């Protein structure tokens, strides 16, 4: 039996009951009644105006203070509150950047990675349905979910569920409460090295498996969980990886009890990244090729075997990754920064950021999108070369070894998405040499960060654009940090021991070897302190 809180909008139609304004009616009456579809108290909001009345059984245990029943876990609680009727929102696959005449589309429950013409796909949301709620509604709804443990909205990704995978049952979601990552004010770095006072680092790598890939993987693995329950032919999930996608895939699959298979280029990823899928029980293939070779193989294999493809060629991943952009706006109280700088490899993430910002603009949460910068390692720079050609010519390259090993990619699958994102955000592409990216990383670390080399690539772009005056001292700028520095400690060890051929390692800070006696220790300390001036 439906509870009183229940399932019909009529129970939400009184403003006094609902915390959130209701959508605009077609006739423009402000906050009129939502469309006559059925929606649960919690399918569009974590806010339950009548939590204690949702159980129809008078013998049920009394609710806890939190609104949860005594014998319930958070998933049970979500199940009790879930909608038993159709959700108002929906999404489907369409060919990426299809013209207005295209009618090609696929349900998200289909296993499809490419359009009929062989192009990329995109997840298209029913924007008209989302637009029935105004920008203020969405801002307030998303803000209300931050910092909670309500399943699944406590996750930074699932707090935007209606914009991500609106139709998935919370019961099918596999989440580690990812997202909600720190937006770090780089006060000292900005001031000391760039003369900036509004510089921020979005620490997407301080996360469950240590990279932004968690944001996309929770979505992909949740959908796989659903497909398996629907008895679709998915025996396992596979990816090619430079180390972060494989870590995220194996962790989320392990949490859900789903087999994962990862293709890694032998000797081209860090030890920390290699041990992650091994520890999480993935089937790990170390293949004597580079990432592009692994990517080619996984595409062939997934078209032959019932292994679901987890790379960002699969547009589902980007639906999760785009929430980092929404989160940045949220953390600035819905003010739009001037610049967002993202390191690029397979090039899904730059498009994901664009999509997140664009949806916020389209749905009235903000009035513009920031300018995007994509930064590549000079040793693996096909996008940069394409940009320099005036976007005229894209040619895959052979990616050379780089300390930014996770972006050692010469034939990015999302090239079309990246070009689209950059063209539509008045974007810029930069590149960083090995010395530039390692120096930038070392300087940032010396101000209290501990970033990965890929973030060094993004910082190098910022340094260049500041020096050329393109980015002004007062511009609010966000650098996206994509992985945890601890995954790449060997690169820092090499740098600080000045062991890198042809690199000055100007900011190295090697440890001082000293004998274990008081005099020797005093000597080195006096010498060290002699170079310092008191701070007053």
Ligand X SMILES: N[C@@H](CCOP(=O)(O)O)C(=O)O
Q: Which residues bind ligand PLP (CB under 6 A)?
A: 211, 242, 244, 312, 343-349, 406-407, 452, 454, 482-483
Give kind and range of the element (H or E) at residue 120.
none
What does the H/E/C string look like for 377-411? EHHHCHHHHHHHCCCCCCCCCCCCCCCCHHHCCCC
Q: Which is nearer to ligand X, 145 or 484 (CB)?
A: 484
Among the residue ranges 63-71, 106-114, 241-249, 360-368, the one whose residues contact ligand X (CB under 6 A): 241-249
CB–CB of 451/186 below 8 Å?
no
Q: Which is nearer to ligand X, 95 or 243 (CB)?
A: 243
Q: Which is nearer to ligand PLP, 153 or 212 (CB)?
A: 212
Q: Is 270 in the site for ligand X (CB under 6 A)?
A: no
Q: How far is the CB of 205 from ligand PLP (least distance, A)?
A: 7
Q: How far is the CB of 315 from ligand X (least distance, A)?
A: 11
Which of ligand X, ligand PLP, none lies near 344, with the C-beta cut-off 5 to 8 A by kind?
ligand PLP
Beta-strand ranges (E) seen in 16-154 are 91-95, 106-107, 121-125
Q: How far is the CB of 137 from ligand X (least distance, A)?
A: 32
CB–CB of 454/491 below 8 Å?
no
Nearby residues of 124 by Cβ (< 8 Å), 6 or more positions away: 91, 92, 93, 94, 105
Nearest to 346 by CA among 260, 225, 242: 242
Number of residues that bind ligand X (CB under 6 A): 13
Which of ligand X, ligand PLP, none lies near 483, with the C-beta cut-off 5 to 8 A by kind?
ligand PLP
Q: Which is nearer to ligand PLP, 148 or 358 (CB)?
A: 358
Q: Which is nearer to ligand X, 242 or 302 (CB)?
A: 242
Among the residue ranges 144-152, 234-242, 280-288, 424-432, the one whose residues contact ligand X (CB under 6 A): 234-242
Q: How far is the CB of 349 from ligand PLP (least distance, A)?
A: 3
User: What distance in Å separates the CA atoms of residue 462 and residue 65, rounded to the nearest whole number?
Assistant: 48
Q: Which is nearer to ligand PLP, 154 or 265 (CB)?
A: 265
User: What distance in Å separates the CA atoms of residue 7 and residue 220, rounded to the nearest whole number?
Assistant: 28
Number of other CB atoms surrounding residue 325 within 10 Å = 27
User: What distance in Å separates the CA atoms of residue 426 and residue 253, rounded to the nearest whole number?
Assistant: 38
Q: Which is nearer to ligand PLP, 164 or 383 (CB)?
A: 383
User: What distance in Å separates the CA atoms of residue 263 and residue 83, rounded to the nearest whole number?
Assistant: 39
Q: Is 241 in the site for ligand X (CB under 6 A)?
A: yes
Which of ligand PLP, ligand X, none lies near 208, with the C-beta cut-off 5 to 8 A by kind?
none
CB–CB of 61/98 below 8 Å?
no
Q: How far is the CB of 345 from ligand X (least distance, A)?
A: 5
- Restricted to residues 403-422, the positions that interact with ligand X (CB under 6 A) are 406
User: What distance in Å separates the CA atoms of residue 63 and residue 522, rounded to the nearest whole number?
Assistant: 64
Q: How far is the CB of 202 from ligand PLP (least distance, A)?
A: 12
From the CA atom positions of the chain, what is the Rg in Å?
Answer: 25
- Looking at the DSSP bridge assignments, the partners of residue 185 are 200
Q: Is 244 in the site for ligand X (CB under 6 A)?
A: yes
Which of ligand PLP, ligand X, none lies near 241, with the C-beta cut-off 5 to 8 A by kind?
ligand X
CB–CB of 169/82 below 8 Å?
yes
Q: How far is the CB of 372 from ligand PLP (least distance, A)?
A: 12
Q: From residue 272 to residue 311, what is the string marking binding to ligand X with x (rule CB under 6 A)?
A: ---------------------------------------x
Q: Which is nearer to ligand X, 399 or 478 (CB)?
A: 399
Query: Starting from the edge strand earliest in sequence, which strands make up the sheet with 106-107, in order?
Result: 106-107, 91-95, 121-125
Nearest to 174 by CA among 205, 144, 208, 204: 208
Q: How far is the CB of 212 from ligand PLP (least distance, A)?
A: 7
Nearest to 420 by CA among 202, 119, 163, 161: 119
Q: Which is nearer to ligand PLP, 48 or 244 (CB)?
A: 244
Among the residue ranges 40-48, 53-61, 238-246, 357-365, the one whose residues contact ligand X (CB under 6 A): 238-246
- Restricted to residues 319-348, the positions that interact with ligand X (CB under 6 A) are 345-346, 348
Q: Which is nearer to ligand X, 88 or 211 (CB)?
A: 211
Burial class (CB in 10 A: 0-12, 13-18, 19+), 301: middle
DSSP state of 528: H
Q: Which is nearer to ligand PLP, 441 or 452 (CB)?
A: 452
Is there a cis peptide before residue 112, judged by omega within 30 degrees of 0? no
Give the footprint of ligand X on this chain (CB under 6 A).
Answer: 239, 241-246, 311-312, 345-346, 348, 406
């Amino acid at each position: 039996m439906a509870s009183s809180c229940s399932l019909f909008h009529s129970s939400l139609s009184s403003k006094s009951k609902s915390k959130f304004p209701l959508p605009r009616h077609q006739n423009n009456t402000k906050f009129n009644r939502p469309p006559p579809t059925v929606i649960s108290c919690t399918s569009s909001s974590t806010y339950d105006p009548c939590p204690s009345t949702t159980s129809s059984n008078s013998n049920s245990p009394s609710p806890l203070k939190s609104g949860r029943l005594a014998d319930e876990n958070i998933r049970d609680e979500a199940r009790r509150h879930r909608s038993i009727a159709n959700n108002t929102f929906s999404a489907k696959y369409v060919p990426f950047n299809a013209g207005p005449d295209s009618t090609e589309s696929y349900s998200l429950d289909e296993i499809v990675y490419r359009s009929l013409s062989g192009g990329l796909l995109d997840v298209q949301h029913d924007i008209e349905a989302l637009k029935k709620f105004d920008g203020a509604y969405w801002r307030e709804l998303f803000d209300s979910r931050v910092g909670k443990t309500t399943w699944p909205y406590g996750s930074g990704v699932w707090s935007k569920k209606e914009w991500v995978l609106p139709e998935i049952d919370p019961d099918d979601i596999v989440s580690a409460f990812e997202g909600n990552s720190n937006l770090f004010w780089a006060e000292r770095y900005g001031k000391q090295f760039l003369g900036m006072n509004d510089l921020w680092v979005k620490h997407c790598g301080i996360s469950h498996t240590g990279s932004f890939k968690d944001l996309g993987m929770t979505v992909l693995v949740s959908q796989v969980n659903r497909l398996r329950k629907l008895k679709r032919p998915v025996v396992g999930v596979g990816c090619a990886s430079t180390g972060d996608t494989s870590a995220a895939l194996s962790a989320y699959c392990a949490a859900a009890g789903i087999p994962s298979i990862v293709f890694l280029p032998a000797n081209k990823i860090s030890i920390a990244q290699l041990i992650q899928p091994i520890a999480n029980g993935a089937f790990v293939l170390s293949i004597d090729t580079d990432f592009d070779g692994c990517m080619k193989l996984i595409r062939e294999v997934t078209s032959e075997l019932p292994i679901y493809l987890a790379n960002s060629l699969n547009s589902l991943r980007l639906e999760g990754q785009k929430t980092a952009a929404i989160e940045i706006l949220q953390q600035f109280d819905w003010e739009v920064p001037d610049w967002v700088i993202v390191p690029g490899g397979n090039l899904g993430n730059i498009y994901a950021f664009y999509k997140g910002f664009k949806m916020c603009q389209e749905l009235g949460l903000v009035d513009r999108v920031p300018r995007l910068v994509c930064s590549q390692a000079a040793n693996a720079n096909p996008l940069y070369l394409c940009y320099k050609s005036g976007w005229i010519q894209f040619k895959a390259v052979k990616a050379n070894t780089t300390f930014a090993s996770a972006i050692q990619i010469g034939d990015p699958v999302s090239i079309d998405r990246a070009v689209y994102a950059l063209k539509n955000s008045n974007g810029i592409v930069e590149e960083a040499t090995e010395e530039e990216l390692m120096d930038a990383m070392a300087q940032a670390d010396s101000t209290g960060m501990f970033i990965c080399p890929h973030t060094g690539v993004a910082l190098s772009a910022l340094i260049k654009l500041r020096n050329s005056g393109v980015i002004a001292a007062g511009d609010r700028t966000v650098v996206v940090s994509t992985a945890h520095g601890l995954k790449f400690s060997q690169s820092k060890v090499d740098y600080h021991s000045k062991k890198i051929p042809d690199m000055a390692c100007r900011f190295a800070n090697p440890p001082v070897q000293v004998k274990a006696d008081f005099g020797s220790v005093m000597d080195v300390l006096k010498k060290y302190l002699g170079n310092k001036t008191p701070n007053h």
